Amino acid sequence: MKSVLLFIYIASILGLVNSNINCSEFKEGRYIYLNKEENQFDQTHIAIRTTNKQIYIDSEKGDTLIYDLNWISNCEYELIYTKSNLKKEGLVKIGDTFTITMVPIDKTSYNYTSKIMKNGLEREFKGTMKKIE
């Protein structure tokens, strides 16, 4: 956690993060994910975020995952996996908690780091999301 805050502080000093952008702009809305392989945003994977819920929809597979959302700070929140329509659970199980840290890029996009602790090991996922509504 301290290393993320240190990075954000250093990045803002160096001008890598636009200090005029506030993470509160990303607390609600509809988002799409950056497909790193194709280097473009993917309209088939959508996240819908309200004040206290986030719903992930994969329209290709028909998968829906629902999370409770708790804000820790302006740019950090927790997602608690509560429900899905998946027939078989994978790595992530109902009740698992992710901690997400956002670093704004511009007024519509941000990079995120998502961390989960499983079986004594921390797993980390990184990506980029863009607000579409």
Asked if 90 contacts 116 with a C-beta cutoff of 8 angstroms, the reply is no
User: Does residue 127 lie in a domain region?
Assistant: yes
pLDDT tens for 69-95 read 999 999 999 999 999 998 887 878 899
Amino acid at 43: Q
- Is position 9 within any domain? no
Residue 121 lies in a domain: yes
| Range(s) of the domain holding residue 78 | 26-131
How many domains does the chain fold into? 1
Reported pTM: 0.79
Q: Give residue 36's pLDDT.
A: 85
- Residue 57 sits in a domain whose CATH number is 2.40.128.280
* Residue 5 pLDDT greater than 90, yes or no: no
Model confidence pLDDT, tens digit, residues 47-57: 999 999 999 99
Among 68, 102, 103, which residue's Cα sits nearest to residue 84? 68
- Give a yes or no: residue 7 inside a domain: no
Q: In whole numbers, what is the pLDDT of the chain averaged over residues?
A: 86
Domain assignment of residue 85, yes or no: yes
Tell me the backbone φ, ψ of residue 9, rounded to 5 degrees.
Answer: -60, -50
- Per-residue confidence at 7, pLDDT binned at 50, 70, 90? low
